[in-house]
Amino acid sequence: MLKIKNIDAFFGKIQVLRRVSLHVERREIVSLIGANGAGKTTLLNVISGLHPSQNGSRIFLDGEIRGLKPEKIVALGILQVPEADKVFNPLTVLENLELGAYLRRQDQGQLVPEMEKVYQLFPILRDRQGQLAGTLSGGERQMLALGKALMGQPQLLMLDEPSLGLAPTVVSEIFRIIRSLNDRGITILLVEQNAKEALRICHRAYVLDTGRILLTGTGEELLNNEEVKRAFLGKDYRGKWER
């Protein structure tokens, strides 16, 4: 579905991605893990056209997307749920969902059944339709961000740290939802600090280290990899793969 090859990215003179290559197959969950500052968010921003990168290629559904404007990339079906500013705080829950649909579709007639699906997945959002997004709890805001992205009918959903700052029970709920979205056919590229959960739910994963892909393998392989265990899982961790 997505194949990126030899991507470099810079902030001024500082290089933050170095010849990064990765691919995501249709219906996969692919996790990208790595320490703070490794370049994970920048990589997602390059894919969605928000951060410039002159070289390498990025093929989505057999077409080159390098150089396309972010709105065109969204229109093709790549939706990113960013790390920060994932919802529009001054707008209500309902308005955020409508906006999610507006970004991608011509046929507004479909909006109601689509919104019904989102409400079934996140009943709390139905109860909070009229509430301003800025007053939601962290977990509710993450659910709204996912719901808003789903309203755009993504083919590839890129999630940047969806579990960040959430209480453990909410974290497991979010991971459960990610898996169920994947079961419904949505392909997912997941960036996470929570390496343990990210490796448990993925099919394959990549480890990014200061701008380079250091390791790749199935979730199970990486959970049992000594280097990954040392760097991300704590020394006594025993890999257990749950897909």
Ligand X SMILES: Nc1ncnc2c1ncn2[C@@H]1O[C@H](COP(=O)(O)OP(=O)(O)OP(=O)(O)O)[C@@H](O)[C@H]1O
Q: Could you list the residues that contact ligand X (CB under 6 A)?
A: 11, 16, 34, 36-42, 83, 193
User: Distance of alpha carbon 243 from its chain centroid, rounded?
Assistant: 18
- Does position 42 bind Mg ion by CB under 5 A? no
Q: How far is the CB of 144 from ligand X (least distance, A)?
A: 21
* Tokens matching residue 79: 């939706």
Q: Could you give the CA distance from residue 166 to residue 171 in angstroms, rounded to a whole number?
A: 6
User: Distance of alpha carbon 21 from its chain centroid, rounded?
Assistant: 17
How many C-beta atoms lie closer than 10 Å to residue 232's C-beta? Answer: 22
Question: What is the dihedral angle through the alpha carbons of 82, 158, 175, 214, rounded to the nearest 10 degrees?
Answer: -100
- Does position 41 bind Mg ion by CB under 5 A? yes
Nearest to 139 by CA among 158, 167, 97, 117: 167
Q: How far is the CB of 208 from Mg ion (least distance, A)?
A: 10
Q: How far is the CB of 160 from Mg ion (least distance, A)?
A: 6
User: Binding pattern to Mg ion, positions 122-151, x when CB under 5 A?
Assistant: ------------------------------
User: Binding pattern to Mg ion, positions 58-97, x when CB under 5 A?
Assistant: -------------------------x--------------
Residues that bind Mg ion (CB under 5 A): 40-41, 83
